[in-house]
Structure formats: C-alpha cells, structure tokens
Amino acid sequence: MARRNKALRVLALTACRVAVGAAFVLSGFVKVADPMGMTHKLHAYTAYLEWGFGDEALPLQVAAVALGVTEFMLGVYVLLGTRRRIATRGTALFMALFTLLTVWIYVADPVPDCGCFGDAVRLTHGETLLKNVVLLAAALYLQYKPLRLRRLVSVRHSWIVSVCSLVYAVGLSLYALHYLPPVEFTPYKIGADVRAALQGIARDADEARLANFYLADMETGEDLTEQVVGDTGYVFVLAVPHVETADDGCNDRLNDLFDACNDWGMSFYMATASDAAGAADWCDRTGAAYRIVMAEDTELQAMVRSNPGLLLLHNGKIAGKWSNNNLPEAERLDAEIARFGQPSLWRGSAWTVLAVWIALLLVVTLADSIWIGQKFYRHHIYVKRFKPNKTMRKKIVAGNWKMNKTLQEGVALAQELNAALQADKPNCDVVICTPFIHLASVAGVIDSSLIGLGAENCADKVSGAYTGEVSAAMVSSTGATHVILGHSERRAYYHETPEILKEKVNLALENNLEVIFCIGEVLEEREAGKQNEVVKAQLEGSLFDLTAEQFAHVVLAYEPVWAIGTGKTATAEQAEEMHAFIRATIADKFGAEAAENVSILYGGSCKPSNAKEIFSKPDVDGGLIGGAALKVADFKGIIDAWKE
C-alpha cells in the first residue's frame, strides 16, 4: 500500500510538473519569439481600459518581453528541477494572478482573445479559464513541497540553465523586434496562398483565416483585393497599420524600392488603417509616390510584425517579408527576388528555433564539464578556496559501538563519557552510535548539548510485517538524532545495495535524523586503482537523488576498508587524497557551497596516537571511531586531538 501511494504521488508530481512547465515554456516561447504580437494583445487591454498607450508603445513592448522571458525561465526551471523554490512560488503566483484576470475576461469580455499563447494557440475565454484553473491547482501542488521536484540538472550546472535561458529568451526577443519573428504564428506565413483562401479552397484552417485579407481604394472605397491577389507577377505591399506611430526613417529606401519596382514592372502598394488625412501626412513626411490603399489594422499587424513592414506576393502567394530594418536593396532587386522563398537560418519551425537553445545549453555544459574536470581547476577550488574556509565545517568525532556492550555496560560507558566531557569540554561535536537496545536508556543519561546520540542502522521500510527491523521513526522516537548508514560491514555481511541505502537515507531524513553515510573501497579495488570510481558510484547510487537542502543533513565517512584488519596502513596523505576527491565529487553534483560545508570523517584505524596528524589535513573533518570508542580514555584522546 505504501509503495502504491508513493507511486501515485510520484505520478501526480510528474504530471503537474510537465503540465505547468510545458505550459509556461510554450507561453513564454511564443511571447519571446513574437514580442510584437504580444504587444498588440496588451494594447487591446489598455485600449479597453482607456490607458492611452499607442498600439506599439515602448512600455508595452518592454512588458511583452519581460512577461515572455519570465514565463520561459519559470517553465524551464520547473521542467529541469532547478531553482525549485523560485520556480514553484513564481508559477503559483503567476497562475493565481492570471486566473483572476481570466475570470474578469470571461465576465467582461474586453478582448476577443486573451493572448496567453499569442497567435500560436487560440482559446475561447471559457477554455482559457478552465486551463488556468487546472494549471493553478497543479502549480499549488508543486509549491506545497517544492523540494520534491527531482533535479534533472546538477546544482553546479544550474547557473548554465539560468544564463543560457536568459540570454536565449532576451536575445530572441530583441532579434524578433529588430527584424521579424523567427517563427511565424500568424496565418501570413511565407508560402501561404492568399488567393486560395479568398476562393474558399485553403489547404488548412490556418490558411483559411487569410480570407480576411482586404484592400480598398483610399478615395473611392473600391475593393482592390482581387486585383492585387490576382496579379500573376510580383506585388509589394507596404503594411503601415497606423502612420502616426510608423517609423519613417526608412522612407528613402522605400522610395528607391518603389522606383526599382517601376523599372521592373512590379506593383507596389501601401496599405494602412489610417484615414485619408493620415495618408496625406505620410506622403508629406516621406515624399511617397506609391499608391496608398485601405486595410484592416488587425490584418496589417498580422501581415508583418513591423511598422512599416514589407510583404511580397507572387501569383497570390506570400513570397517574402521584411521589417523596416532589413528592407531589400533596390539596386539588387533581381538578386533579392532570386532568393525569395529560400529558408533563412533564423526563420523556421518552432522546434528548429528551440533547438538553438538546447544546443546552446549542451555546448556550454560540455565546456563547463571539461573545465571542471581539469586538475588545475580542482587545485584552484579545493586548495585556494576550501582550505581557508575549513572552520565553516563541523568538526565531529563519532563513536560506533557496533555489536558490543550489554544494556547495563552501555549505559555505564555513556555515563562515564558524559562525566569526562562535562569535566573537560570538547572542541568538536561528539556523537555516540549505539545498538538499538541502548538508545532510549543512553538518551536519559547523557547531556545532549555535549553528546549526540545515534543508531548504527535503520530499516528501509516505513513500518509493517518486517520481523526484527527497526524503522527510522522508531530510532527518532528514542531521542536519537543521528544514524549510521552504508557501513562497510552492512554492505558486506547483509548485502545492502545502493537502492536499499537510498530508501534508508530518505526515510532517515524524513524523520529528522542526521545521516552519517559511509563509503569506501576494499583491498582489491584499491590495488586495481579503482578507489575513486568505487566511491563515486556509492555516492551516486544512494545520495545523488537528494536535494542540496536534504544533503545538508548528511555527514560522510570514508572507510578505507582495505586498511582495516588487513595489516596494511592508510597514511594521512592517502586519507586527504580521498577526502579531497569526495569533496570534488560533491561539488560537481550539489555545488561548491554544499561541498565546502559537508563534514567528511575518516573511518579508518584512528587512534589517539595518529588522530592529530589525520585531523590536521584540510579535507578531514573528524573521525568515525570503532574499537577506540569503547574505552573512554581512548575515545577522549581522539576527541582531544581537535584541541590546539
């Protein structure tokens, strides 16, 4: 039952994560890929509220870009499981605000289209409200426990996700504003057949919307649509939704282009939604001699996301589009025409444009991984950075009593140690990990401000018919604050696998126990030079699913199993080498701060005679003591190694 409930929770979490993340990425991507389209949507709201903004006002453009970038970043964070608190709180806040906005839209009907997905996906007000209610529920579920979101990107690579996503989103917006959207979400795509749409034989529903294409003579009102669309040659249409807000800085190029069209026998029109007075003003400002016709402003805004923008028709089909910042050169009009309809590097499908972002992430991640793997970099980080900050980490001496001492003997040993430490305060944290039967009794005879209490193991099950097992909750109920997991003896004698240990770690943390997690290699692995590989695999197998916040409650203990009871000796230098490697591995996964703060204990043959030398190493933060912990004098001698 417990496993089924956990599976259902994971399924619900994944469904909410995908729904919220995908919706935000899609919504944000549409806005950053077509910011002018979103600007027009925002203008529709401000016009209804009579706020006095122009249809392409700079504040509306900034708001459109900011909204798109924020949504895109939040969606990426949710999907990849990085910046989880920011992501879940941000998406929940966004959905709460936009759900309220959608209720107002549903009731007041201020605009024909809410614009949440721009022109890419059109929804009715009712569909939008339903969508937002569902996403709000999903966002609130994610926000309830944000750290349950599993990371798909390591902590040390999270900055890459943030920087690359921000650069990509902002860069894409600026490109689309300066030129044209790299992805066309309106029906006015290159290759679309306007003539077919007007004849009612459009190839799809999107193309059928081109039936709204309409041009009329400015003076007589005569319908010129058939004349323009029926032309079998090349026809340029200069789209100027409103001459009052149009950029007239390109008028010389436009006039040169008009002259070139006359030379080549091509038609050239200017279409605007402004009245005759506005058209006359445009002619006075620019010296325009081309014919000016009337059109609907919404269609002009959709034709070309630029004011002015240039549309080229050929035989009734859209052959080319330009913004006012990259108009075709009049002197090379023949060469420009030869390129009409050819695909551009920055114009394509949404998948193509998204692939640029994915490629950027992969390239920067690979470069970062290569750099982090260099020996020089490791030296720079761990000698120059960690060593000065060593005092930030807890110094710990933990005793592991193993299967020793009766209840009465154990209580007496704990009382003796407690008295010794009360008489001579330790300069480090002290923990004793006892057999299960001792825990409750020992908890009552020690000063918890001097000595921490831990168990030597706990079960990988919450509760149930598991004879002889002791759960993490039971351990916690005795007053214990720590638990040893992954000890080499448990791995060897009881065949504890990484998966079993992963369950134990999770349950221990859920019950507020500090985990002392043991790792280390045996003699054969050391002689084969595989110690780094083995230790890294042990960490990855049981701890790398944790969040950085959870990992903060883990203490590591390196056990050179090959040097325990084999007659071989592990030197302080060998211990430091392995501890430095372990810290580097933690940095790769959880980030430099987590690696700097985690305490790594030495779990080899540590005695009063060698403790000071071992503890003096910059990456050794204490010891996990076995046999010496059973004698107060020896254990106190090791504790005192931390005293200067």
**Looking at this protein, which amino acid is placed at residue 112?**
P
Are 491 and 527 within 8 A, CB to CB? no
Query: How far is the C-alpha of 157 from the C-alpha of 162, rounded, in Å?
Result: 9
Q: In whole angstroms, how large is the CA radius of gyration of the chain?
A: 35
DSSP string, 210-227: GGG---EETTT--B-HHH
DSSP 456-518: S---SSSSSS-TT---HHHHHHTT--EEEES-HHHHHHS---HHHHHHHHHHHHHTTPEEEEE
Q: Which residue out of 487, 489, 496, 514 is catalytically annotated?
A: 487
Helix, strand, or coil (residue 638)? helix
What is the Cα–Cα distance from 493 to 627, expressed in whole angstroms? 19
Report the half-sphere exposure of 247 (CA within 13 A, side-chain side).
15
Judge whether 487 counts as a catalytic residue: yes
Closest CA to 488 of 514, 508, 517, 509: 517
CB 592 within 8 A of CB 156: yes
Pairing relationship of beta strands 267-272 and 234-240 according to DSSP bridges: parallel
Q: List, in sequence order, every residue forming a beta bridge with 321; answer none if it has no partner.
A: 311
Residues 6+ apart with CB under 8 A from 447: 418, 421, 422
Instruction: Take residue 60 and report the two structure tokens written for it.
Output: 């509306």
Measured distance CA(298)–CA(294) in Å, rounded: 12
Q: What angle, 0 to 180 degrees and rounded to 10, lies between the N-to-C axes of helices 158-178 and 2-33? A: 30
Annotation says 489 is catalytic? no
Q: Which two tokens stand for residue 180?
A: 């044209």
Q: Beta strands of 356-419 (E only): which ranges?
A: 396-400
The sign of the CA dihedral 607, 611, 617, 623 is: positive
> Of residues 207, 559, 579, 596, which has the active-site annotation?
559
3-state class of 53 per DSSP? coil
CA distances from 373 to 147, 368, 380, 541, 617 (A): 28, 9, 12, 21, 23
Structure tokens at 402: 């193993």
Measuring CA to CA, how many Å separate 637 from each of 214, 420, 455, 515? 93, 11, 23, 25
Within 13 Å and on the Cβ side, how many CA atoms surround 71? 25
Beta carbons within 8 Å of 160's beta carbon, 6+ residues apart: 153, 361, 364, 365, 368
**Contact criterion met (CB below 8 Å) for 225 and 215:** yes
Q: Long-range contacts made by residues 362-367, C-beta under 8 angstroms, separation at least 24?
A: 364/160, 364/163, 364/164, 365/157, 365/160
Catalytic residues: 487, 559
